[in-house]
Amino acid sequence: MTDARATPELSVIVPVGGRVDDLAMLIGEYADAFDAARVSYEIIAVLDGRMDRVLDSLHGGRVTAERLRIIELSRAFGESAALMAGFDAARGEILVTLPAYYQVEPRAIPKLVAALSSDDDMLVAVRWPRAGTFLERLRRDAFHWLFAFVSRLKYRDLGCGVRIFTREVADEIPLYGDQHRFMPALAQRRGFRVREIELAQSPKDRFRGRYRLREYLHGFLDVLTVFFLVRFTKKPLRFFGTVGFLAAGFGGIFVAVLVVQRLFFGIPLADRPALLLGSLLVVLGVQVFALGLVGELIIFTHASDMKEYTIRSVIQASETGTDRDEEPRTLRQPGERIVR
């Protein structure tokens, strides 16, 4: 029997929100997969709000209390908050996130565990071969193209919640709102090594609802949020200064042309919409530029509390420094506690 007090190698976090399959059965299949991978593990199911039926099914499931812990949030805070609660409760040095519904075949999970090496900080599952209608593929490809365009980071399946990563990644990446789906990009921005791995898609992976206009709008706004987080978090003036300079520049050109026309060609300024447009562009440009300056001041004020880097490893050099045949000793390697 497994000692409940022993620290597991893997902590598996399953956030449970609006979309849920037969969770007791699914977690049982997850447990079988980790048993096949021959690793010690714990499963943490985080219920995002009050879910009595799901809670009862988990208590009646076949996963023992030694392996399964259930965290019930006081209300629905969102999947990002549920994941953060799971990260805080996890005891393992390697964390795995799995959805509360079928996405990949559970029997493919050992492949994910075995693929994590000391050279990886995070592995992201890509469902392949990917099923779906033409409209679903079009929507998915358009979303990933837009994300790659604005962030300069290319991912193939950001909607897949199957990921494995080190404790350091969870500690360094704060999640809020709907940022959980962009966790690989945020980790890569922090300097972590992120790699994709193809896993077989579950035949039960079917979205049964319909995306509304609000979901598309929220997704677009989330992409814009990641655009700022990935590229301009520490340099806000580069974005706001560029936008402000262009707006004020075009506005200044409009006003200059009108002034030249008035002084040298006798064209009156009254009833000229271009004058109003040029003035508004100049004022808007100055305000946007000032917003970037304020952002730079805030960044400078808190610069001492912000870490700009992530340490990959610490290497202990030899005492003499002349023995080139001796391999350097690495004090810590991500993922080294996994037994394969």
Residue 88's CATH number: 3.90.550.10
| DSSP structural state of residue 329 | E
- Based on the fold, state whether residues 37 and 146 are members of the same structural domain: yes
pLDDT of residue 225: 84
Tens of pLDDT, residue by residue over 148-188, are 998 889 999 999 999 999 999 999 998 888 889 999 999 99
Q: Of 200, 4, 61, 38, which Cα lies nearest the Cα of 14?
A: 61
Distance CA 22, CA 28 (A): 10
- Based on the fold, state whether residues 162 and 28 are members of the same structural domain: yes
Tens of pLDDT, residue by residue over 99-140, are 999 999 999 999 999 999 989 999 999 999 988 888 888 989
Q: Within a domain: residue 152?
A: yes
- Based on the fold, state whether residues 102 and 243 are members of the same structural domain: no
pLDDT of residue 313: 61
Tell me which residue range forms the domain holding 34: 10-231
Q: Span 205-210, mean pLDDT?
A: 71
Domain count, the chain: 2
Question: The tokens of 80 are what?
Answer: 């990002």
Q: Within a domain: residue 319?
A: no
Question: The tokens of 120 are what?
Answer: 């990886």
Q: Within a domain: residue 297?
A: yes
| DSSP structural state of residue 60 | T
pLDDT of residue 239: 85
Return the CA Rg of the chain: 26
Q: Within a domain: residue 311?
A: no
Q: Within a domain: residue 2?
A: no
Backbone dihedral angles phi then psi of residue 146, each to the nearest 5 degrees:
-65, -40
Facing residues of 199 across strands? 127
- Based on the fold, state whether residues 226 and 103 are members of the same structural domain: yes
- State yes or no: pLDDT of 144 exceeds 90: yes
- Based on the fold, state whether residues 209 and 295 are members of the same structural domain: no
Distance CA 206, CA 185 (A): 25
- Based on the fold, state whether residues 182 and 253 are members of the same structural domain: no
Q: Span 12-29, mean pLDDT?
A: 93
Q: Span 3-21, mean pLDDT?
A: 87
Facing residues of 195 across strands? 123
- Based on the fold, state whether residues 109 and 86 are members of the same structural domain: yes
Of the three residues 168, 202, 231, the one that is the final residue of a domain is 231
pLDDT of residue 43: 96
* Inter-CA distances, 131 with 2, 26, 157, 204, Å: 39, 20, 12, 10
- Based on the fold, state whether residues 213 and 291 are members of the same structural domain: no
pLDDT of residue 91: 94
Q: Of 103, 101, 78, 81, which Cα lies nearest the Cα of 19?
A: 101
Q: Span 76-93, mean pLDDT?
A: 94
Q: Please answer whether residues 188 and 155 qualify as being in contact, where contact means their C-beta atoms are separated by less than 8 angstroms.
A: no
Q: Span 304-332, mean pLDDT?
A: 53
Q: Span 5-21, mean pLDDT?
A: 91
Q: Within a domain: residue 331?
A: no
Distance CA 289, CA 36 (A): 57
Question: The tokens of 176 are what?
Answer: 């809020």
pLDDT over 70 for what percent of the chain? 86
- Based on the fold, state whether residues 258 and 194 are members of the same structural domain: no
- Based on the fold, state whether residues 83 and 211 are members of the same structural domain: yes
pLDDT of residue 176: 83
pTM: 0.76
pLDDT of residue 333: 46
22: CB partners within 8 A, 6+ apart: 57
Q: Of 94, 108, 112, 101, which Cα lies nearest the Cα of 40?
A: 94
Q: What is the average pLDDT value for the chain, to the nearest integer?
A: 85
Q: Within a domain: residue 63?
A: yes
Of the three residues 231, 249, 275, the one that is the final residue of a domain is 231
Q: Could you tell me how many residues make up the chain? A: 340
pLDDT of residue 66: 82
Q: Please answer whether residues 320 and 280 qualify as being in contact, where contact means their C-beta atoms are separated by less than 8 angstroms.
A: no
Query: Which range has the top average pLDDT, 63-67, 116-120, 230-234, 236-240?
Result: 116-120
Tens of pLDDT, residue by residue over 265-314, are 888 877 788 888 999 999 999 999 999 889 888 877 766 666 655 566 66
Q: Within a domain: residue 202?
A: yes
pLDDT of residue 3: 53
Residue 199, SS3 per DSSP: strand
